[in-house]
Structure 1
Amino acid sequence: MTLVDPAGTVRIVLADDHTLFRAGIREMLLTVEGFDVVGEASTGDGAVLHAVRYSPDVLLLDVEMPGLAADEVIRQVRRRCPQTRIVVLTMHHDPAVMHQLLDCGAAAFLSKTSLRIELVAAVRAVAADAEAVLLAVPRASVRRPEPLAGTARRTPLTDRETDVLRLIAQAFSNGQIATRLHISEATVKRHLTNIYAKLGAVSRVDAIRKAQTARLIDPAEGAGP
């Protein structure tokens, strides 16, 4: 099914908490004939609000932002703005995350290292075809991950969640973790929430113990910095 007339304007909302990256993408998109950036957001909640406010053809969505997690952003946007197609941009290529977001309704999953021509092509394709699903990620990311041993419902930790958990095991605070990983403290807290849910943990110590038992992190980790 066609969504946007090939000769029409593709209206885009950008959602990324890194101001310089967002500005660079905006400037690049505005050089493309037929593209119009109608709104920008720096949080998950803002992404939903801008999607509802502007009803864009395409939402370019960063995976790691403060506020609502990417999967919830996608669910809400798909429910409230079904005409908006969502292109996920990320530096991480964890298969579990990719398949989770595609299952939630993302139309494309691209690495932030993708070429300009790849991003432009993806935006055009998903805006023009409601059935299009595009991937520009390493081949390994396409494989669906196996569930953790002993449960069919839990999913493996993402690369970034594993990074956070390793630093937790070394007794770093949320603020120290945010500084080391160049993310916000709110994002660290969101990762912790996801870690607890995936591992069935109720505390940092419990999460470390369960991750070590499942060999998600080295048992030697946990002695402190």
Structure 2
Amino acid sequence: MTDRPGATRRKVRVVLADDHTLFREGLRELLETDPDCSVVGEAGNSDDALALVERLRPDVLLLDVEMPGPGAAAVIDRLARSRSTTRVIIVTMHENPAIVHDLLERGANAFLVKTIAGEELIAAVHSVNRGRDNVLLSVSRDTMDRLDGSRGRIEPAQQPLTARELDVLRLVAKAFSNGQVAARLGITESTVKRHLTNVYAKLQAVSRVDAIRKAVGAKLLSEDDRLR
């Protein structure tokens, strides 16, 4: 969609499904710090999650693996049978490669561990909402090595990075913190975070290391830009 002066940008509509109320509240607060995200519903079990998705037709469903009810696999299967256009992001503490592989094969669009940074989660929400054929992974190297490499492979940048985004990424590649990047470039730390969120979305990355790797692979950064 092309933004016009005075036009209201459409927010990404998200449903949260997790049986831990405190975690859901934290997710809601995090996502609503992004002006382009809107949490439209919450569920504490799989049945309620399905009912909300069918009624509200959100853009993205953040889904825990272990909840009361039929479970994540059944939710994804049900959405597939109903030809739902809602994108599914698995957010869990479990990294069992068999579970990762099974849920991705069933049609999950991302598999993220709950230890990821908030800005990475927001970037993942925007990335799966924009990219209809992409799969995002944020798991340990051991889990990645044990997965079938045919899934979870993401192509490099679909959109060019701006000059400022590249400046930020070059400093991040040299292990500068957000505060150090801000001081070096003469911008605020919140601006650095916003640039990184854009970088993650454009590169379809889920972490700083992943963004750097993809930027090098896409020849947006050189090996010399990496920390020595």
Same fold at TM > 0.5: yes
Aligned partner of 2:92 in structure 1 is 90
- Measure how far apart 1:123 and its partner are: 0.3
Match of 2:147 in 1: 144
Deviations 1:156-181 (A, max 9, x none): xxxxxxxxxxxxxxxxxxxxxxxxxx
Conserved 8 A contact 1:5-1:128: no
Partner in structure 2 of residue 78 of structure 1: 80
After the TM superposition, which parts of structure 1 deviate over 3 Å for at least 4 consecutive aligned residues? 4-7
Deviation at 1:5?
7.5
Distance in 1, matches of 2:46 and 2:127, equals 24
Code of the residue aligned with 1:105 in structure 2: it is: G
Matches for 1:62-77 after TM superposition, within 5 Å: 62-77=64-79
Corresponding residue for 2:189? Answer: none
In the alignment, residue 75 of structure 1 is paired with which amino acid? D
**Are 1:15 and 1:43, in contact at CA under 8 Å, matched by a contact in 2?**
yes
Shift in Å at residue 81 of structure 1? 4.8
Instruction: Please report how far the alpha carbon of residue 69 of structure 1 lies from its aligned counterpart in structure 2 after TM superposition.
Output: 1.3
Structure 2 equivalent of residue 39 of structure 1: 41
Q: Quick check: 1:10–1:35 contact (8 Å CA) kept in 2?
A: yes
Structure 1 segments unaligned to the other structure (5+ residues): 146-225
Structure 2: where are the runs of 5+ without partners?
4-8, 149-228
Q: What amino acid does structure 2 have at the position aligned with 1:71?
A: A
Q: Deviations over 1:125-157 (max 9, x none)?
A: 000111110001102222238xxxxxxxxxxxx
Report deviation, 1:33. Answer: 1.2
Structure 2 residue matching 1:89: 3-state secondary structure: strand
Distance in 2, Cα, partners of 1:140 & 1:84: 30
Distance in 1 separating the partners of 2:43 and 2:18:
6
Q: Give the 3-state SS of the residue equivalent to 1:131 in structure 2.
A: coil
AA paired with 1:129? G
